[in-house]
Amino acid sequence: MTNYIAQKQSLPLYVQIADFIKQEIERGNFKPGSILPSEKQLVEDFNVSRVTVRKAIQILNDEGLTYSEKGKGTFIAQQKLKHSFVNVVGLTEESQLGGQKVSNKVIDFAVIDAPAAVAQKLQIAENSPVYCCSRQRLLDNRVASFETFYIPVSYLPEMTEQDMAGSKFAYLEAKGYSIGQITQKLKPALPEKRIQGYFDIDPLTPILINESLSYLKDGQIFELSTVYFKTSEYDFELIAYNE
């Protein structure tokens, strides 16, 4: 470990130590929930002062990579899932990249007459039959998001509640549909009472709401969706291009 920090002498020692531990976390050498070596051990390993070690740990805590409990030590935090708003990919696919297990808990599933507001956005006739489905999205059995979506029944006349307990993207592809474009509207908000219950959060914990329209490759609107993200479970990514 002393060899590692010797290679980066231009950076403060505590930054080098924090960077080293970050790399170990990324490599999977420190698992979520596991405890870091004690301050005393880190002092010996890196041949630095206790103050330097504490500064390094503070960086890790501030970035959400670790958390400290008085009298117990510093633990590796559950890593957030990276969510991109510029790629057409579902939670199941994102979780596979992050090495986490995803599951869905269907709360409501019904065929309803499309309300005027829903019909307008889907560009279908009012009262046309649509699926209305609400489900919790879980990562390693932790609720990460809550989704409500509407899809015209004409596209998937045989869709069932059980189908939506799995990957929606995989189901669509199995039925021969491919999403070509998604338009999204994002807004930060405080959670309504229902969402507080689903996420087990207090009324002042901010969430992110994403209302989207999904288009098939032929340009037809396929789905209207609203997703409520539990921000403690995600890192969000937006990419800007200079054209």
Tens of pLDDT along 54-102?
Answer: 999 999 988 878 888 888 899 888 766 665 555 555 544 444 445 567 8
CA 175 to chain centroid, in Å, comes to 26
**Contact call for residues 179 and 88 (beta carbons, < 8 A):** yes
Instruction: Give Cβ neighbours of residue 100 (< 8 Å, ≥ 6 apart).
Output: 81, 139, 140
Residue range 21-44: average pLDDT? 88
Percent with pLDDT over 90 in the chain: 57
- Count Cα atoms within 13 angstroms, Cβ side, for 89: 13
Instruction: Give Cβ neighbours of residue 14 (< 8 Å, ≥ 6 apart).
Output: 48, 52, 53, 55, 56, 59
Q: What is the pTM of this model?
A: 0.69
Burial of 116 (0-12, 13-18, 19+ CB in 10 A): exposed
Spatial distance between the Cα atoms of 210 and 181, rounded to a whole number of angstroms: 15
* End-to-end Cα distance, the chain: 44
> Amino acid identity of 62?
D
Spatial distance between the Cα atoms of 85 and 144, rounded to a whole number of angstroms: 16
Higher model confidence: residue 123 or residue 68? Answer: 123
Token look-up 């930060």 returns 188
3-class DSSP assignment, residue 216: strand
3-class DSSP assignment, residue 191: coil
